[in-house]
């Protein structure tokens, strides 16, 4: 899985395990389009004793549109096998284990080895595939595009006395298009449909930060206006753990998560 450059957030839709397979796998190669909007809204205030007060109001929106294809159903998803599945896959095939013992007893004797090879051919012996219970279908993004915008406001009130007292107001604004880049571009959405448990997990990757305009107007000490650019991302945080719960097959939905000072909300639409 290709992660975003500066922050990956994963949204998982998880539910209690079902006792029977409740959904049907899509044909391998089936295509869907997923459109989503991720919105961050936060406010914050920091007081450093009697000398400094700073506050912020952050509003950022990341939109994406991705084309995904269904992969073959496997025993596990993008996180890999569970410990129980790893143990199951490490178990030796009893037939092959017996043949290994016979091979060892040959001690390099060519006649013995030839006889063993003939025996394997006659019995059509082949190693059995490691068995790990599970039925997960991963939908892989093939190409994504989108846009990102920001409208942030920061205030500072510094009272260090004399020439070191000032107030400042900074605004960060901008918008940018994210072009379609194929499998080497921004891969924004992965979906894992657990057929056995009737639950679906959605993983959304942030886009790389974008250079946005910043304007700072300062009064008091060193009063003046400064205009520059700085890199801005949706959250600039890492969310490695899935969210939830959402139950059922691949479908549209909305989820909200509390973050420092506010919320991150993602609404997505699945078009078959």
* 3-class state of residue 174 by DSSP: strand
> Residue 223's pLDDT is what?
93
The structural domains of the chain, with segments of one domain joined by +, span: 8-79+136-271
* 3-class state of residue 157 by DSSP: strand
CB 234 within 8 A of CB 39: no
Rounded to whole angstroms, the Cα distance separating 132 from 75 reads 6
Our measurement of the distance from residue 224's CA atom to the centroid of its chain's CA atoms, rounded to an integer in Å, reads 42
The b-or-e profile of 55-94 (16+ CB within 10 A means b, else e) is: ebbbbbbbbbbbbbebbebebbbeeebeeebeebeeeebe
Q: What is the DSSP string of 240-267?
A: -S-----BSSS--EEEEEEETTEEEEEE
Give the bridge partners for 82, in sequence order.
none
Which uninterrupted H or E stretch holds 118?
Answer: helix 110-122
* 3-class state of residue 207 by DSSP: coil
The pTM of the full predicted model, rounded to 2 decimals, is: 0.76
Which uninterrupted H or E stretch holds 87?
Answer: helix 83-90
> Residue 237's pLDDT is what?
65
Rounded to whole angstroms, the Cα distance separating 133 from 137 reads 13
- Among 17, 1, 14, which residue's Cα sits nearest to residue 197? 17
> Residue 218's pLDDT is what?
95
Encode the chain (272 residues) as per-residue pLDDT tens digits: 444 333 344 444 433 333 333 468 999 999 999 999 999 999 999 998 778 999 999 999 999 999 999 999 988 888 777 677 666 556 666 666 677 777 778 877 777 867 767 776 666 655 555 455 678 999 999 999 999 999 999 999 998 766 778 999 999 999 999 999 999 999 999 999 999 889 999 999 899 999 999 999 999 888 999 999 999 999 866 555 555 547 899 999 999 989 889 999 999 999 98
The b-or-e profile of 216-251 (16+ CB within 10 A means b, else e) is: bebeeeeeeeeeeeeebbbbeeebeebbbebbebbe
């Amino acid at each position: 899985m290709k992660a975003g450059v500066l922050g990956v957030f994963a949204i998982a839709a998880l539910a209690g395990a079902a006792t029977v397979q409740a959904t049907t796998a899509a044909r391998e190669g089936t295509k869907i389009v997923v459109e989503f909007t991720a919105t961050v809204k936060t406010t914050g205030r920091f007081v450093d004793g009697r000398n400094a007060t700073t506050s912020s109001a952050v509003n950022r929106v990341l939109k994406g549109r991705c084309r995904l294809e269904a992969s073959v159903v496997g025993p596990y998803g993008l996180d890999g096998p569970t410990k129980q599945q790893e143990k199951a896959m490490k178990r030796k095939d009893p037939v092959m284990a017996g043949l290994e013992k016979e091979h060892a007893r040959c001690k390099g004797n060519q006649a013995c080895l030839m006889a063993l090879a003939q025996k394997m051919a006659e019995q059509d012996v082949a190693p059995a595939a490691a068995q790990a219970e599970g039925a997960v279908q991963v939908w892989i993004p093939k190409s994504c595009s989108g846009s990102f915008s920001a409208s942030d406001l920061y205030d500072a009130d510094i009272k260090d006395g004399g020439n070191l007292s000032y107030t400042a107001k900074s605004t960060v604004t901008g918008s940018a298009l994210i072009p379609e880049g194929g499998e080497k571009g921004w891969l924004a959405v992965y979906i894992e449909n657990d057929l056995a448990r009737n639950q679906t997990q959605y993983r959304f990757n942030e886009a790389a930060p974008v250079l946005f305009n910043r304007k700072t107007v300062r009064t008091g000490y060193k009063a003046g206006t400064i205009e520059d650019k700085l890199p801005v991302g949706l959250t600039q945080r890492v969310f490695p753990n899935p969210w939830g719960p959402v139950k059922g097959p691949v479908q549209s939905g909305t989820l909200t998560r509390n973050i420092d000072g506010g919320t991150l909300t993602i609404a997505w639409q699945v078009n078959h």
